[in-house]
Copies of this chain bind each other. A is one copy, B any other.
Amino acid sequence: MSLYIQKFGGTSVSTLKKIKTIVNNISNFLKNGHKIVLVISAMSGDTNRLIRFSKKLNKKPTPREIDMLVSTGEQITISLITIALNTLDIEAISYTGPQLGILTSNNYTCARINNINLNMLHNDLNENKVIVVAGFQGINILGNITTLGRGGSDTTAVALSAALQAKECQIYTDVEGIYTTDPRVCTKAKYILFLTVEEMLELSSLGSKVLQIRSIEYAGKYNVKLRVLSSFNKNYGTLIIPDYLFLSNLYMENPMISGIAFNINESKITVCNIQDIPGMAYKIIKPISNANINIDMIIQNISNINNITDFTFTIEKNDFIKSYKILKKKVVNNIGGLLNIDEKITKISLVGVGMKSQSGVASHMFNILGNEGINIRMISTSEIKISILIDDKYLEKAICSLHTAFGLNIKQIIQQNNINN
């Protein structure tokens, strides 16, 4: 008999029919003799609807009141789920975040969980009750309701898994798991069976609609086994495991790469022909970051014999015009150089812990793209990731050829014994 935390997102509880479906699934799961704590989100669309409502009354609603408002969404679903469980003669009880003593920081709309009072949870679990917890919400030391930011229910689930030392934290969604790449770009995308936390973080652009990034970090920090799976079928989904478990080879042979992420929302700016002297990078970047613009990749190559170099970085497309103006005014006028811009680029990242022990991933990648006639504009690497910039018109071609070449078209084989142990 083990304890599982099961989180159901907004799309899984958006209709009475779906509620009935997942409640039946829960009932079947309980027949294995396991204990469950459920974490439930608001019905999809509910939170947005309430926020839209409030903004019609006040363009800048007080964050405390926003949290008071939106936290009703999960309160509705937890009671409905509990009521539905009761029809199946399952003893269940619902709790809001504040009722359960999920103590958070004070910052409304993006609070962090500091502590969870386990007394009520342990009591109810001892009585074999299914506990139905409102995700996304807590209480601060002032006694006010707080919320954890978008996707905060994932964090609630992981935090409860850590606190209760659950066997697994299962995130039920409307997709099969984390995919090797976006199925809309490459139809051969498969869902991944195993990922390390580190890989998942690097692949976050593929999973960001499925998992709150913070919850992944949290899972890594507290060694929570996190599984992303579908509410509506019986596949195993994607198991995200702490790095040390992966490295102990408990799970499987490391694949060379696990997935291919991409980002079409970046632009590239190069400051050409600048002096390669200490402090130059700082002089370029400082006015950009002062304007609260996030920089993603940064590249500076070695200088030529005249000590002249180029400095390149990428930013979000939204920030492009603003950045260009800042550079023109505050940098080029000051330190000289020429601006070379490119808005029509896409970033593609190969991610996999397997890279650590297998050389040649980069050269293999470059070779494939070269064969496809795709020019690489910029390269940046880390231990488990290789990111390149290419012209955005090649996005699909690049992703699909890499997906095939790195063996991702083939579905991973499930090692049953590794999944439930």
Q: A residues within 8 Å of B by Cβ?
A: 16, 19-20, 50, 53-54, 56-59, 61-62, 64-66, 68-69, 71-72, 75-76, 78-80, 82-84, 86-87, 93-94, 96, 99, 143-144
Contacts and interface: CB of A to CB of B under 8 A. Distances in A.
Given A68-B75, A69-B75, A86-B62, A80 B94 contact: no
A154 to B, nearest CB: 22
A94 B68 CA distance: 8
Given A83-B62, A83-B65, A76 B57 contact: no
A57 B94 contact: no
Give 8 closest A-B pairs by Cβ, nearest first.
A69-B79, A72-B72, A68-B79, A57-B84, A58-B87, A61-B83, A65-B79, A58-B83
Contacts of A76: 50, 69, 72
Nearest to A74: B72
Given A53-B16, A65-B94, A99-B143, A58 B75 contact: no
**Identical copies in the complex:** 2
Interface centre among A64, A80, A93, A99 (most CB of B within 10 A): A80
Interface centre among A76, A87, A93, A96 (most CB of B within 10 A): A76
A80 B69 contact: yes
Contact of A79 (B19, B59, B66, B82): B66
A126 to B, nearest CB: 17
Contacts of A50: 76
Nearest to A57: B84
Nearest to A56: B16
A86 B65 contact: yes
Contacts of A56: 16
Contacts of A79: 54, 65-66, 68-69
Contacts of A53: 16, 80
A54 B93 CA distance: 15
Contact of A54 (B61, B64, B83, B144): B83
Nearest to A61: B83
Nearest to A50: B76
A54 to B, nearest CB: 5
Contacts of A75: 68-69, 71-72, 75
Contacts of A57: 16, 19-20, 80, 83-84, 87
A75 B54 CA distance: 13
Contacts of A93: 64
Contacts of A20: 57
A58 B78 contact: no
Nearest to A73: B72
A76 B54 CA distance: 10
